[in-house]
Amino acid sequence: MSSSAARHAAELIYAGEIRFGPPYYRLAIDGRDIDGRLFGAPLAWSDDGRLLAAQEWIGTSAHPGPVTRALLIDADLQMAAALRVVESGFAEQFRFIGGSFVYCKRYGASGRIEEVEVALDAIRNWQRLTWRA
């Protein structure tokens, strides 16, 4: 999946699936695999093609359910910022709107959905990505 501005390309590479659940993947950006992390679909690029939103899987156990979070990746700087963990649910429906990142937390068992909006300039926990050898 190339960014809308075609600056970078991201690819989900099948890694497995949880029992009775969806698949999870490794993530490669510009042909390089991110080390030590697993991801689910979907991915979404910002309009300028610099930021990638990904659903990071914290665990792959079927019980008590998925543990995921939204992960923002600055493909230019090779940095990532993790947002709040979604226990027994999925971070999804990623959108970049102006200076904000908007996504939904969907809790499978209850069907509850919460929309979250984060100001991009308020994110302070950026960390350097590590790559698989």
CB 51 within 8 A of CB 72: yes
Q: Per the structure block, which two tokens stand in for 58?
A: 């914290």
At residue 18 the predicted structure's pLDDT band, cuts being 50, 70 and 90, is: confident
pLDDT of the residue at 19: 76
Handedness of CA 34, 12, 90, 4 (dihedral sign): positive
Q: What is the pLDDT of the chain when averaged over all its residues?
A: 91
Helix (H), strand (E), coil (C) string for 45-110: ECCCCCEEEEEEEEECCCCCCCEEEEEEEECCCCEEEEEEEEECEEEEEEEEECCEEEEEEEECCC
Q: How far apart are CA 41 and CA 65, in angstroms?
A: 16
> Whole-prediction pTM value?
0.92
Do the strands 79-87 and 38-45 form a parallel or antiparallel pair, or are they unpaired? unpaired
41 contact partners, CB below 8 Å, separation of at least 6: 12, 22, 25, 55
Q: Tell me: the pLDDT tens digits for 86-112?
A: 988 899 999 999 999 999 999 877 889
- CB-based burial label for 95 (10 Å; 0-12, 13-18, 19+): middle
